[in-house]
Amino acid sequence: MKLVRYGESGAEKPGLLDADGAIRDLSGVVDDIAGDVLTDDGLAKLAAVDPASLPLVDGNPRFGPCVGQVGKFLAIGLNYVDHAAEVGAKLPEEPIVFSKAITCITGPNDTVEIPRGSVQSDWEVELGFVIGKKAKYVSEADAMDYVAGYCIVNDVSERDFQMRRSGQWLKGKSHDTFGPIGPWLVTKDEVADPHDLKMTCSVNGEIQQDGSTNTMHFKVPQIIAHLTQFMTLMPGDVIATGTPPGVGMGKNPPMFLKDGDVMELTVEGLGHQRQVCRSAE
């Protein structure tokens, strides 16, 4: 299934895409694409619904973040072999983990705001996965049982805030709108191999990132096993898994976002994002 949340910001409704790519309203079945809806039982309930029996949504409504009521938004740094090489970093011995504030989460096509004082705002196309059940001390062998599905994440980052503001990556990762998610949450049964997906990011029509999840250093099962040694993951938690090469920071000379720039992102099978950048007032 491809699950969506559509409508105005803060008032999104749950939906799914039918075989023709049209949105069908799930409001009569579930309140939101969140929490227990993402468990195995919750997804089985949705899979049993005939899309043709659901109301057809007219027009082209806004896509909201594909997951609601996110409790934790975590990310893995320097997790692509070729990205680490482009920025001259050594591959970590265990996953580098950081948080993005949940207030940065936004829809896949919403405006991205460049923060006041920003000089190094950057893009990062990433594969995100969503947790489907409570996970604590999970083994790598069992880890995929805890995945509800996958989505595109743009891990927008302000590098100056990230690298030179007292060492806290969180500061450069959490500005409002720095976490576009979606457009779809694609359930794991529709993704044959999350570690072999093409991914791209263009800025103003020029491809900047053209990579694949097959260069991921720590795979999804390793990430889940690692995280659950330190914290309990809950249904609806979102984890971004790192980015391939081509970020602005890694270019020579470096290239960063400015007012009016347009980012477009794809991950194979997970849809397309498009964001226009605007400077904060």
Residue 76 confidence (pLDDT): 97
Average of per-residue pLDDT values in the chain: 96
**Using CB atoms within 10 A of its CB, is residue 90 exposed (0-12), middle (13-18) or buried (19+)?**
exposed
Residue 83 confidence (pLDDT): 84
Is 16's pLDDT higher than 70? yes
Dist. CA 42–CA 277, nearest whole Å: 36
pLDDT tens per residue across span 61-73: 999 999 999 999 9
Which pTM was predicted?
0.96
Dist. CA 240–CA 100, nearest whole Å: 10
* Domain boundary assignment for the chain: 2-53, 73-279
Dist. CA 144–CA 181, nearest whole Å: 21
Residue 163 confidence (pLDDT): 78
B/e letters for 196-234, b = 16+ CB within 10 Å, e = fewer, are ebebbbbbeeeebbebbbebbbbbbbbbbbbbbeeeebb
Residue 167's pLDDT band (boundaries 50, 70, 90)?
low
CATH 3.90.850.10 fits 73-279, yes or no: yes
pLDDT cut 70: percent of the chain above it = 100
Say if residues 125 and 209 touch (Cβ distance below 8 Å). yes
Residue 87 confidence (pLDDT): 80
pLDDT tens per residue across span 194-207: 999 999 999 999 99
Written as six digits, the tokens of 8 are 């105005």
Residue where the block lists tokens 């949105």: 23
Is 104's pLDDT higher than 70? yes
3-state secondary structure 80-137: EHHHHHHCCCCCCCCCEEEECCHHHEECCCCCEEECCCCCCEECCEEEEEEECCCECC
